[in-house]
Amino acid sequence: AQSVSQHNHHVILSEAASLELGCNYSYGGTVNLFWYVQYPGQHLQLLLKYFSGDPLVKGIKGFEAEFIKSKFSFNLRKPSVQWSDTAEYFCAVNARYGGSQGNLIFGKGTKLSVKP
């Protein structure tokens, strides 16, 4: 069965620090990869996604992620975080079977707290 691991449960950073959140998945085939963000009191929003092509994906609000197939990883990065980035971040994966997709499997999430 597929699974998604997010290494950090809670990350605390000061403003302007660099961010990297780890995500590893277990599935040997072709996958779609996603990072979602949930700001306090708000619903889930898509930050970025990878389906194919350039493994370095740029998303909204200055976030990017790199797909490293050999490491089964899709880590999220941001060079300089802001207080407004305080949120919970979820990595998600689904398998691709030809033109269709499997169910979306989520990691347990990483809470990011940015100190002003």
Partner 1 sequence: DGGITQSPKYLFRKEGQNVTLSCEQNLNHDAMYWYRQDPGQGLRLIYYSQIVNDFQKGDIAEGYSVSREKKESFPLTVTSAQKNPTAFYLCASSPGDFGYTFGSGTRLTVV
* Residues in a beta bridge with 6: 23
Whether 34 and 49 have beta carbons less than 8 Å apart is answered as: yes
Nearest to 92 by CA among 113, 69, 68, 109: 109
The residues, any chain, with a CB within 8 Å of residue 44's CB and separated by 6 or more, are 36, 37, 38, 90
66-105 residues near partner 1, rule: CB under 8 A? 90, 92, 99-101, 103-105
Among 44, 56, 60, 68, binds partner 1 (CB under 8 A): 44
User: What string marks each residue from 2 to 41 as x (binds partner 1 by CB under 8 A) or -?
Assistant: --x-x--x----------------------x-x-x-----
* Contact footprint for partner 1 (CB under 8 A): 4, 6, 9, 32, 34, 36, 43-44, 46, 49, 51, 90, 92, 99-101, 103-109
